[in-house]
Amino acid sequence: MNGAQSLLRTLVGSGVRVCFSNPGTSEMHFVAALDDVPEMRSVLCLFEGCTTGAADGYARMTDRPAATLLHLGPGLTNALANVHNARKACTPMLNVVGEHATYHRTKNTPLSSNIEGLARPLSHWLRTTERPADLPRDAAEAVAAALTPPGQIATLVLPADVSWAESVAPAAPLKVPARRSVDEGALAAAAGVLASAGAGGAILLGGVALREGSLAVASRIAAATGARLLCDTFTGRLERGAGRAAVERLPYFAEACASALASVRELVLIGTQAPVPFFAYPNKPSELLAPGCNVHALAAAGDDLHDALVRLADRVGAKAGSERMQARAQLGPSQRPKLDAKAIAETLAARLPEHAIVIDEGGTEAFLTPVMSAGAPRHDWLSNTGGSIGMGLPMAVGAAIACPERTVICLEGDGGAMYTLQALWTQAREGLRVINIVLANRSYRILNVELERVGAEQAGGRARQMLRIDGPTLDFVALATGMGVSAIRAETPSDFDRALTRALAAEGPCLIEAVIGG
């Protein structure tokens, strides 16, 4: 058994069953070993950023890491933008990065690089395996590191000769650290704060506290204390929809978020941090909370959030059945005269199927969609936690592989789609049930908004041309069709409704290019 075979068997034995791959010469023994380990599903991606985006989507829906296979330092570098997003989402992920043979690393070949130096800033756990005998144990440690709460990035650097050399038997899975229990004193203090604050109190949730069961407990706490129940603007995974506990999502723009928080005097954090603006702006504060607001960090992302909520509910006398549940909205497809953000939101909310998974990287044209779809049938909402665009299409790959029985809908801006468009090919190759909705406004519209918000409104034609992507106009129908994905263009609300209805009845992947009116 060579190193690659032992590595794969160790990963499978530790619960890693999918590898999103973009291999090169140094990874060929890993590729060959796939025939010997059929339990590992290997999914080919045509760009490294698609491998890590897909691994992020898979882990968000399974709470288990997928592996990625990357080629040397340049392959890792291409993948890092979506590693950044995954890290911000507390996603468990294992990146296997091929390296030159140990004796070849000193030769200064064209592909030589400092792989550990590139990986270190975004890795919680990092190791280069120098001996074949160490590889199985290193692989088991990498999986355990990725699963360490709240979810971590593990990077295993694999020299080619360690992969091809004779190795030892696969290693057994290692014990994963449990989530930390929240201190009783902290719970007592939080209960006292919420009981005395009344309507001036708020609970801000993040991480796994946004799953259905934890949200219900948090809603009981809010009902018992009079506190508001809030969640982060961008969430790794939010279980929402009719029949689930309602939660107020913080607005994106700093002014709106500060206004929403203006009355909060006591803020209890569970699984997240105090809210801050995405960016700084000239002559504007970098704080969103009102002056004098007291922040109480009850539970960090790696703590046992559900247990903390249950114990807090007991302390404040919360009653089962007191949850504020989201009502089912009676919605129909949009009747607006033109296809715009509101028309998209109305029709999608009306047509959203039960248990859909929505990937949200729609930018400005999707800002209304979370609001309009709150009362739609139960669904999961996955958003861009790190702000690095290009996660939507590959994340849909991973989510669809994780949950093949569910419909995945990817809301993607046309600018973001061009970062990782290659994911469409993987969707077609794997026959995945994904509806890609490209919101084509022919510009980086959010940057047009930000141009004025940062005080650069005097920018002229040359500057504004840098924020347009309509010369030439991108043809997403042709682009998708060229990668094996059926596609249609919608230019009116009725076009969009017909296209979405047809897509929901389809078996494989499809794409709707929704041309947004001016």
Q: What is the CA radius of gyration of the chain?
A: 24
Which residues are within 8 A (CB) of 349 and not within 5 positions of it... i.e. 6 or more apart? 329, 331, 369, 372, 373, 375, 376
Using DSSP, state whether 240 is helix, strand or coil.
Answer: strand
What are the Cα distances from residue 336, in Å, to 373, 430, 438, 442?
17, 36, 19, 21
* Residue among 185, 192, 3, 155 at smallest CA distance from 79: 155
Q: How many CB atoms lie within 10 A of CB 320?
A: 9
pLDDT in tens, the chain (518 residues): 999 999 999 999 999 999 999 999 999 999 999 999 999 999 999 999 999 999 999 999 999 999 999 999 999 999 999 999 999 999 999 999 999 999 999 899 999 999 999 999 999 999 999 999 999 999 999 999 999 999 999 999 999 999 999 999 999 999 999 999 999 999 999 999 999 999 999 999 999 999 999 999 999 999 999 999 999 999 999 999 999 999 999 999 889 999 999 999 999 999 999 999 988 888 888 889 999 999 999 999 999 999 999 999 999 999 999 999 999 998 899 999 999 999 999 999 999 999 999 999 998 888 899 999 999 999 999 999 999 999 999 999 999 999 999 999 999 999 999 999 999 999 999 999 999 999 999 888 787 778 777 877 677 778 777 778 888 999 999 999 999 999 999 999 999 999 999 999 999 999 999 999 75
Q: Residue type for 291, please?
A: P
DSSP class per residue in 328-353: PP-------SS--HHHHHHHHHHHPP
Q: How far apart are CA 95 and CA 85, in angstroms?
A: 14
**Domains of the chain and any CATH numbers:** 3-164 (3.40.50.970), 184-316 (3.40.50.1220), 341-515 (3.40.50.970)
Place of tokens 């739609």: 376
What are the Cα distances from residue 258, in Å, to 54, 207, 290, 293, 374?
34, 22, 7, 12, 22
- Judge if pTM exceeds 0.85: yes
